[in-house]
Amino acid sequence: MYQVVRKKSLADAVVLLEIKAPAVAAKARPGEFIIVRQFENSERIPLTMMDFDAEKGTVTLVVQDVGYSSALIAQAAPGDGFVDFVGPLGRATEIARYGTVLCVGGGVGIAPIFPIARGLRAAGNHVVSVLGARSRDLLILEEEMRGVSDEVIVMTDDGSYGRKGFVTHGIQAVLERGVKPDVIWAIGPMIMMKSVAAFTRPFDIKTIVSMNPIMVDGTGMCGACRLEVGGKTRFACVDGPEFDGHLVNFDLAMKRAAFYKGEEALAKRQEHALTCDCGCGKGGH
């Protein structure tokens, strides 16, 4: 069993879980991910790591309650365990000295951008981070990101904190100062990564995105995570999860990601029917 040793609520429906997994923590690098299975009959869920500590033997995950399985994971408490904790998987971020880099995190995508920003800063880069959230109460890990960045620009969709606008407006503000970043990392919802890549293409700024399609085995065998990158089929689990954002076919990736939305909604309604105390007995509200 891989035991939860710490839990913290970061925002509505977003929790941080620190989990004892010494073998994974000893090898983990920024950009890699793990696949967890909570119970014997649970589905396998891929999650990018927010942090890892080889000395403590722990890995930290940030989980958003978006579906049936992630809701159960988000309910895990200290002392609870996971039956499987497989990783680290995927290819690590190419940490090197590039010059000025932008680390763009949207919503829960701020969690996986954290170790990347930390690694890039330790390698001697000037790190400017652009963090986006729909509103102030949904912004996560601001202090942690300030600790690993030379500058942090906060954007909220509704203007309740920082500057009003999307992360793309934050990138635009940096470019308007006459700064051309050497590389941009962007992690968040698919539509955000598509917008960032579309925004940076005319400026010819290398833009790396982290794709999180549906995954099953995580080892390149099942094909569930396939993407079209530069006109070729690529598997996010073994060829990624990071790819050149200018080459990713986001429209196809978003279509594939929506494929099981109906089943997911049904599973959520069934979970509600089992767990709600409103007496409906049928869920769906």
Which of ligand FES, ligand NAD, none does residue 157 bind to, with CB < 5 to 8 Å depending on kind? ligand NAD
* 45: contact with ligand FES by CB under 6 A: no
User: Cβ of residue 60: shortest distance to ligand NAD, in angstroms?
Assistant: 14
> Token pair of 62, please?
């940030």
Q: How many degrees, rounded to 5, is the angle at CA 104 between CA 101 and CA 108?
A: 145
* 220: contact with ligand FES by CB under 6 A: yes
Enter the DSSP assignment of 164.
E
* 114: contact with ligand FES by CB under 6 A: no
- Site for ligand NAD (CB under 6 A): which residue of 29, 134, 163, 269? 134
> Token pair of 26, please?
């000893």
Size of the site for ligand NAD (CB under 6 A): 22
CB of 212 within 8 A of CB of 48? yes
Stretch that binds ligand NAD, among 93-101, 132-140, 200-208, 272-280 (CB under 6 A): 132-140
Enter the DSSP assignment of 256.
H
d(CA 213, CA 226): 8
Which of ligand FES, ligand NAD, none does residue 49 bind to, with CB < 5 to 8 Å depending on kind? none
Which residues, 6 or more positions from 194, have their beta carbon under 8 angstroms from its beta carbon? Answer: 248, 250, 251, 254
> Token pair of 118, please?
């930390």
* 109: contact with ligand NAD by CB under 6 A: yes
For residues 3 and 249, which CB has a smaller minimum distance to ligand NAD in the complex?
249
Distance of alpha carbon 227 from its chain centroid, rounded? 17
For residues 125 and 210, which CB has a smaller minimum distance to ligand NAD in the complex?
210
> Token pair of 198, please?
């579309």
For residues 118 and 226, which CB has a smaller minimum distance to ligand FES in the complex?
226
* 208: contact with ligand FES by CB under 6 A: no
* 257: contact with ligand FES by CB under 6 A: no
Number of neighbours of residue 193 by Cβ within 10 angstroms? 27
- Residues at the site binding ligand FES, with contacts judged by CB under 6 A: 215-218, 220-225, 235, 237
